[in-house]
Amino acid sequence: MAIYALMGGKVNRDNLRNQIEARLLKMTSSACPRVLFCPFAVKDEKKAYLKFEAMMKGLDCQLSVIYKDDIKSFEESLLNTDILYVGGGVSDDLISIFKEFHLDDILRKYENRNIIYAGQSAGAMLYCKVSMGDKYMYVDNNHTYNYKMVDGLGLLNISICPHYQREDLVLYNDEIKEYKVNSFGLEEDTCLIIDENSFYVLKDDLERSVYYFNPEKDYLMIPLYEGEKYENKNIRS
C-alpha cells in the first residue's frame, strides 16, 4: 500500500536540506530508488526541477521529471518510479490539473502498489481532503490575510496546513472545525508520514514542529514527536 509523505515546505535558504528525502529513499525497497518529480504547481517547471535536482544532489537515486507537456505519459511514468514527489506552488492550480486530466484516478488505481506519494506544501495538500491554501493571500502591515481552505483530491481523509509556523495561520485552528476530519499543522522542514493506519513525523529541523488536531477531542492542539508512532484508522479515505 502507498505510503504518504506530506511536507510542510522548505525554509527559504540557498542550500535546501534533504535529510527527509534521504530517509524517504531508505523507505523504498530499491537500492537506487527512482524519483519522479512533478512541478505542475508552478509556471516555470524547468526552474523548479533544477532546484529540486540541486537539493537531491549527493543522494543515491535516479531522478526524472514529468512536465505538463508530457502529461499524457503520467501513468506510464508513475509505473516506473518508487517515489512520486509533487513540488510546491499554487495548490488550486495543481489540484485543478490533476482533476482535469483525471490523474487522481490514476493515483487511486495504484494506491495498493509499493510506492511513496510525497508532496511539499501544495504538493502535500494535493492528497488531502481539504487544506489551508494561500493563492489569494496578501501581506499588509506585517500580517497576512485571505488564506482559504482548498478542496484536495481526498486520497487521505485529513486536512493539513503547510507553513504552519507563520503566526497568522492560527486561523486554521478554527477553520478545521467545519470539516470534522483529523487535521495537522506542518511547519517548514517537517514531514508527516502516513503508513497504513498510523502516522509519524520526520524533521530536517528539530526546532520545527508538527501539530495534530483530533476531532474526537474537540480539536485540542497536540504536538507530535519524532520517533513516536501514532495509530488512527480514520486517516485514509
Provide the CATH number for the domain around residue 22.
Answer: 3.40.50.880
Q: Which one is predicted more confidently, 237 or 51?
A: 51
Kindly tell me if the per-residue pLDDT of 81 is higher than 90: yes
- Is residue 237 domain-resident? no
Q: How many CA atoms lie within 13 A of 186 on its CB side?
A: 35
- Is residue 77 domain-resident? yes
Give tens-digit pLDDT for 105-115: 999 999 999 99
What contacts 163, CB < 8 A, 6 or more positions away?
Answer: 8, 9, 121, 134, 169, 186, 187, 188
**pTM of the model as a whole:** 0.95
Would you state the pLDDT for residue 145?
61
- Is residue 119 domain-resident? yes
- Is residue 161 domain-resident? yes
Q: What is the total count of domains within the chain? A: 1
Would you state the pLDDT for residue 137?
67
Q: Which one is predicted more confidently, 136 or 182?
A: 182
Output DSSP code: residue 157.
E
- Is residue 236 domain-resident? no
Determine the average pLDDT of the residues in 135-155: 79
Confidence band for 234, pLDDT divided at 50, 70 and 90? confident
- Is residue 202 domain-resident? yes
Would you state the pLDDT for residue 143?
67
- Per the structure, the complete domain to which residue 77 belongs is given by 3-231
